[in-house]
Amino acid sequence: MELLEKRIQSDGIVKKGSVLKVDNFLNHQMDIALFNEMGKEFKRLFKDRPINKILTIEASGIGIACVAAQYFQAPVVFAKKAQSINIDGDVYSTRIESFTHKRVYDVMVSKKYLRPEDHILILDDFLANGCAVNGLIELIESAGATVEGIGIAIEKGWQIGGKTLREKGYQVESLAIVERMDEQTGEIFFRN
């Protein structure tokens, strides 16, 4: 998606350790006009899928998912990262390793909001090694629901997540795939 690639080129910052900072438009300050264009593109890419629910994970997937959901006329469910007294005990849960935060955390979704009859689109901001997405797939499969596709804002093309998921047969659509970043010059190269 050219609009997103241009924005990454102009506003993304390459940091040491393969970190791409996009926090001025994607995951701390959020450009909602851009999110709307991304939502339209996700709808175009998944238009043939019978999606009735969108699943994401807190926190930075929520904004993208909620704006995109308008084009699918579907509710959004977000996987929560810690036990809350406000959630019933009856949850699907799994453990996810975060590349960004260098730690492991538990995520969960109430069993009420993942049902066998659900056809689910997973949306998230980043796909790197795929731990978050694989965790969400595990939650969906625990419920006996169907994964219709996986929509990602930015995929790190040199990491294994996207390749592995596509090999398993999932429809993975990343709006921008970064092929390579140069930590010295700050240059960002996209996959065509």
Please state the closest distance from residue 13 (CB atom) to a second copy, in A.
9
Structure tokens at 75: 């509710």
Among 65, 70, 53, 47, residue whose Cα is nearest residue 139: 53
| Nearer to a second copy among residue 71 and residue 190 (C-beta) | 71
Residue 21 or 168 having the CB closest to a second copy: 21
Q: Nearest distance from residue 101's CB to a second copy, in Å?
A: 6
Given the complex with a second copy, which of 59 and 160 has the nearer CB atom? Answer: 59
Q: Are strands 188-190 and 172-181 parallel, antiparallel or unpaired?
A: antiparallel
Smallest Cα–Cα separation from 121: which of 183, 173, 191?
173
Helix (H) or strand (E) holding 37: helix 32-45
Which helix (H) or strand (E) element contains residue 8?
A: helix 2-11
Where do contacts with a second copy occur on this chain (CB under 8 A)?
17, 19, 21, 23-25, 27-33, 35-36, 58-59, 62-63, 65-67, 69-70, 73-78, 80-82, 84-87, 100-102, 109-110, 112-113
> 14: helix, coil or strand?
strand
Shortest spacing between CB 54 and a second copy, in angstroms: 9
If the CB atoms of residues 66 and 147 are measured against a second copy, the closer one turns out to be 66
Nearest-angstrom CA–CA distance, 34 and 176: 13
SS3 at position 50 = coil
Q: Least distance (Å) from a second copy to the CB of residue 180?
A: 19
Considering the complex, state which of residue 35 and residue 46 has its C-beta at the smaller distance from a second copy.
35
Q: Taking the complex as a whole, how short is the minimal distance between the CB of residue 113 and a second copy, in angstroms? A: 4
